[in-house]
Amino acid sequence: MEVPGEPWIADLTPILDTALDAVVVMTEDGVVAGWNAIAESTFGWSRDEAIGRQLSELIIPPGYREAHHRGLAHYVATGEGPLLNRRVEIVGLRSTGDEFPIELSITSTDLAGERLFLGFLRDISSRKAAETALRESEARLAATYNHALVGIAEIDRSGRFLRANGQYSVMTGYSLDELREMTFLDITHPADVEKDRALFERQWSGATKGYTLEKRYVRKDGDIIWVEVAASLVRGDESSEAFGVRILRDITDKKRAEEQQRLLLNELNHRVKNTLTVVQGLAHQTFKGGAVPPELLRSFEGRLGALAAAHNLLMKQTWESTPIRSAVEAALKPFHICEGGISLKGPAVLLTPSATVTLTLALHELATNAAKYGALSNDEGRVAVQWSLDPERLTIAWRERGGPPVTKPARTGFGTRLLQRAVARDLGAAVTIDFASTGLVCTISAPLSRVVP
């Protein structure tokens, strides 16, 4: 649109409207002489509204207008201006009265014998918001990094520390400056160096993204600490190098507790074995000289052996939980389970220590009875042990076939009493025994709350 009295402005308009930034033309007395489409959308004033008005009224916040007038007067008087031919960030004003950040560059030119100023302005609100968000994010990250209760360090390809947080320094006893002159292997216990080095090389080769391990560090004061290391790798782009991140958690107290527990369990196992040996010796002394039939003594020793097997199994599992298959195999090991006379089938289930002992003894009694009178007393007989789970109960089924015909005994023996009383009492289980002629069937059904950890 042609501006009355200024025909040269019409020649500039097509050029101004193709610019990617807001372009404002101002005369020496501060009047707007040119205003492109981007200026309209940026500041909210149409070209017709802007042309002929003082620039300071349109886009300069009130607090900055006096400085604008002084600077313009100084340039007119001296030909020098602090903002000319520079890129600066200032505050702009929209027609709504909102202030926002802009990037400005100004140049001067003579046109048709008149000095004009061309201002190129860009709205940088989005960029400033992103910069603010980034600073806040970095501040939060720095606070987390520096005040974390775990040690955090960054290392280069050689394993040398690039940076570390305060907790890492506290854990190792080395200052941050000292750490920057070292590699993570320098403070690793000699016995753990090769293991960590191998994992580190696999990670940098791309064979694995990250790894965790438990290892020892030798502190500056010579003390040894156990740490759990979580190692990850941050791969850089073309302009930056990759670096490793290592997060450490001090597990020294945990390791000491585990070692103490191991020593106590070893002592307990030793004492249990000694006690069982003493009981066995007392039995031999008590029953010697034919005081009891040899068969009864063998049964007693077999039960002691089953109890010892259960305790050995619990010792291996640190007295926590035992796989049911391991308990079944321990109970039936004396009966040559590997020869095919006994088959086992069932899902993976963990048993509590008390359930391990009780079920081991119960299955031993069933196998002993089968070896004397049932399916394990001949070469054709077979026993199938199968267990299953539902949401509330664990069920173990013992089924014999191929043995001699079965008849219900005239009296209740120890094994039957153990199954019907002790198992029911210790595990809250329902026990059924069917003396079917084709083979004995025993079912033990116990609530999961009593047998599963």
> Would you state the structure tokens that stand for residue 170, as one six-digit string?
């506290």
For the chain, how far is it from start to end, CA to CA, in angstroms? 86
**What is the per-residue pLDDT for 297?**
60
Strands of the sheet with 151-155, listed across from one edge: 161-164, 151-155, 243-250, 224-234, 210-218
30-40: pLDDT as tens digits: 999 989 999 99
Contacts of 58 (CB under 8 A, 6+ apart): 32, 43, 45, 50, 93, 95
Identify the CATH number of the domain defined by range 7-128. Answer: 3.30.450.20
**What is the per-residue pLDDT for 238?**
67
Owner of token pair 């782009």: 237
d(CA 237, CA 235): 7
Backbone angles phi, psi at 355, to 5 degrees: -65, -35
Domain assignments of the chain as residue spans, ordered by start: 7-128, 148-250, 255-451
Whether 7-128 and 255-451 share one fold: the answer is no
**What is the per-residue pLDDT for 134?**
78
324: left (phi over 0), alpha (psi -120 to 50) or beta: alpha
286-297: pLDDT as tens digits: 666 656 666 666
**Domain at 255-451, CATH homologous superfamily:** Histidine kinase-like ATPase, C-terminal domain (3.30.565.10)
Residues in the chain predicted with pLDDT less than 50, given as ranges, are 1-5, 338
Contacts of 304 (CB under 8 A, 6+ apart): 276, 279, 280, 283
Identify the CATH number of the domain defined by range 148-250. Answer: 3.30.450.20
**What is the per-residue pLDDT for 96?**
94
